[in-house]
Amino acid sequence: MALVSQLRMILGREFGCMVESVSGLGAIEELLAAGDLPTIFVLPEHCTPETLAEFERIAAQSGPPVPLIALTIRGEPVPGTPGSPFHGTLELPLDRERLLALFTQQLGHHLFAGAGDPPEPLVCNFKEFSYRTYSREFHQTLTHLSAVAKHDVTLLLVGETGTGKTTMARLIHEMSGRSSHALLTVACGALPAELIESELFGHVKGAFTGADYNKIGRFAAAGHGTLLLDEIDVLSPHQQARLLRVIESGEYEPVGSHKTQMSQARLIVATNENLSALMERNEFRSDLYYRLNVLEFNIPPLRKRRLDVIPLTLGFVDEFCSSHDITVRRIHPEFLACLLGYHWPGNIRELKNHIRRAVLFSRHGELTAYDLASDVFRAGRQAMLARNSRAPETLSEKVACSEQEILEAALRDNNYKRSATAAALGISRVGLYKKMKKYGMLDRKSPDA
C-alpha cells in the first residue's frame, strides 16, 4: 500500500520507527501486549463504532495508553462516534510536516507511562501570539482568568520563578478591552528600594539628590493600558500603603509633588512568595493582602504540568531555529524522555534556556540527549531506567549501566576531550578508548567540534 510506504519512509527516516500494516485486531492486540506500538494509525474504513469500541477495550488492557491517530479524507468529518478515542487526525493525502509535528507530540505523551490519555488542549489565540496547555490542573485557572480578564479589576498572580507570570499578564491584557494600549512591566525586586516609588509614580525636579528633571512614572506611562508589578513582596510598608491607595482610588502623587494624579491603567500584581505567611510575620500589610487575595490565581510549576513539556519544547525549538537560522529536522525520542525525566526547578524559563542551548549545540539537523546539559541528561537517563520494563538484574548489568553513565558524564564535564576525561577517571587513554568502544560511544564529540 502506498500509504504504508509513505509512513514507513517518513517515520523510519525521522524517528527510526518501523511501520507495520495489520488487518486484524488480534495482531494489534499482540503488538500492544509486547509494548511495540508507540502510535496506531486508523484508516477511515476501520473507524466504525464497533471497531473503535474494540480499540478501547484492547488498549485498556494493554497498560500505558497508546495514541490513536485517525486518517481522514480531506474535507470529510472524522468518522466514528462522538467521544471516540482519537488523540489526533491527519488528512489524506499526507502532509509531511503535519505528520511529523503530530507524531512527535503523541510520542511525547506516550513517554508518560500510565499518565492517562492526553487531554484536549485549552487554546487561546491572539493577534500577536497564542497560548495552549494540556494540563488539566491549569485548565480551571485559565478558564477563571478568561472570565475576569475583560473586567477592570486588579489581579494577583502567584507562582514560582519562571512559571510564566509575565506571560499570564500578557494573556490577561490581550483578553481585555485594553489590548490596543501598552502593557508595561516593573520588576520591583530589580530596583533599589529608594527608587521604587520614583519608578512607579514618577518625581518632580529637585525631589531628591540627582532628580535633575521631571520624570513620568510607570502608572502614568501605562496610560489606558495594563501595568504588571512583579515581586510586590519587596515593597516596604510605606510603598505598600501607596499601592493600596492606587488600587482603591486610582490616586497617587509623584515623589516631591503635592498634586494628585489619577491612574488610568489596569493593574496586575505578581509574586513568588507566600503573601499570607509574610502577612503573619508582619512583613506584608494585611489590608493590602485582603484586597488582593480575592482575585488570586496560582500558576502551577512545570513539574506539575508535565503534559505541557513536549508542546512547549516544540515551540521553543521552532523559535530558536528561526532566530538562530538553524535547521532541526529530527528530535530523538531519548531527547524528549530526558526532558520529561527532569524536575525543572527553574520552570518554563529553565526549559526555554536548555532548549536554546540544545538547538545551538545540535548537529546534522538532529536534537539528541547528548545536546542537553549534564544535569538534565542524567535525570532523564535515570527516569528512563526507572521506566524500563526490565531493569538491570545481574550485578554485571548494573555495573555496566553505571559505568556507561559515569563515562557519559565525564566526557561531557571535560568537553569530550579524551585525555582530560581519562585523567579525570584515573584510567589510561587506551583504557578509555576500549570502554567507549564497548558502549558504542566513539562518535561522542564536543558540540563545538
Cα–Cα distance between 74 and 66 in angstroms, integer? 24
pLDDT of res. 50? 72
Q: Grid coordinates in use for 224?
A: 489606558
Looking at residues 303-318, what average pLDDT do you find? 89
Over residues 363-379, the pLDDT tens digits come to: 888 898 889 998 899 88
Bridge-based pairing state of the strands 215-216 and 202-203: antiparallel
The more confident residue out of 443 and 161 is 161
Domains of the chain, by residue range, sit at 2-110, 124-298, 305-438
pLDDT of res. 63? 54
CATH class assigned to 2-110: alpha beta
Three-state SS at 152: coil
Contact call for residues 243 and 284 (beta carbons, < 8 A):
no
Residue 155 has pLDDT above 60, yes or no: yes
Contact call for residues 25 and 34 (beta carbons, < 8 A):
no
**How many secondary structure helices (H) and strands (E) does the chain include?**
18, 16
The more confident residue out of 293 and 329 is 293
Q: What percent of the chain stands above pLDDT 90?
A: 42
Contact call for residues 105 and 314 (beta carbons, < 8 A):
yes
Q: Model's pTM, two decimal places?
A: 0.66
Find all residues with CB under 8 Å of 168, minimum gap 6, and list them: 145, 157, 297, 299
Residue 178 has pLDDT above 90, yes or no: yes
132-141, 250-259, 263-272, 274-283: lowest mean pLDDT where? Answer: 132-141
Phi and psi dihedrals of 352, rounded to 5? Answer: -60, -45
Cα–Cα distance between 117 and 83 in angstroms, integer? 13
Over residues 276-295, the pLDDT tens digits come to: 999 999 999 999 999 999 99
Q: Grid coordinates in use for 109?
A: 505523551
DSSP sequence for 356-396: HHHHHH-BTTEE-GGGS-HHHHHHHHHHHHHH-SS---SHH
Cα–Cα distance between 2 and 139 in angstroms, integer? 41
Cα–Cα distance between 255 and 214 in angstroms, integer? 10
Contact call for residues 229 and 188 (beta carbons, < 8 A):
yes
The more confident residue out of 129 and 345 is 345
What's the CATH superfamily of 124-298? P-loop containing nucleotide triphosphate hydrolases (3.40.50.300)
Looking at residues 140-152, what average pLDDT do you find? 90
Cα–Cα distance between 248 and 183 in angstroms, integer? 21
**Domains 124-298 and 305-438 belong to one CATH topology:** no
Count Cα neighbours of 287 within 13 Å in the Cβ-side half-sphere. 10
At the topology level of CATH, where does 305-438 sit? Answer: Helicase, Ruva Protein; domain 3 (1.10.8)
The more confident residue out of 293 and 393 is 293
Phi and psi dihedrals of 301, rounded to 5? Answer: -70, 160
